[in-house]
Amino acid sequence: MVLLPFRIKVKNAESGATVEMELENDNTIDEVIESAATFWNKEMGAYVVRKGKKVLRGTMVLVDAGVREDDTLELVPDPEGG
């Protein structure tokens, strides 16, 4: 099976900035989080990715998470302080 790359947008929930990301179906949500956090030079911390109202599981591959071409995911910080 040939995996064709596709593009999505990832939005930075804190700044509102958006970046385009080229991915393959077998990329994982964890990889999207790591790439986006690195791109925006995010401080060491926990983040989640949401699609609409749903938080996507880190280990899921994109195709199983229902991520498709032109989707917009949002990188949301998961704050640790108390």
Partner 1 sequence: MEEMLRPSDLDGDRFDRSRRIEWLDLDAISRTRVLMVGAGALGNEVGKDLALSGFRDITVVDMDTVAVSNLSRCLFFKESDATEKRLKAEVVADGVNNLAGTDLAMAVTAKIEEVEADIFLNSDVILGCLDNILARTHVNARSYRAGRLYVDGGMDGFIGRVMVVRPPDGACLQCGMNKSHAKVASLRFSCTGAKTVFHEPRMAAEITTTSVLAAIMVREVVKHASGRDDLLLSNILYYDGMQNRLDELEIPLNPDCLVHRN
Which of 49, 47, 51 is closest to 67 using CA atoms?
Answer: 51
The residues in 14-73 that bind partner 1, with binding defined as CB under 8 A, are: 14, 16, 29-30, 33-34, 37, 44-48, 50, 53-55, 57-59
13 binds partner 1 (CB under 8 A): yes
Number of residues that bind partner 1 (CB under 8 A): 27
Separation of alpha carbons 1 and 80, rounded Å: 41
Separation of alpha carbons 50 and 13, rounded Å: 10
Which of 19, 21, 61, 76 contacts partner 1 by CB under 8 A?
76
Query: End-to-end distance of the chain based on CA atoms, in angstroms?
Result: 48
Write out the residues near partner 1 by the rule CB under 8 A. 13-14, 16, 29-30, 33-34, 37, 44-48, 50, 53-55, 57-59, 76-82
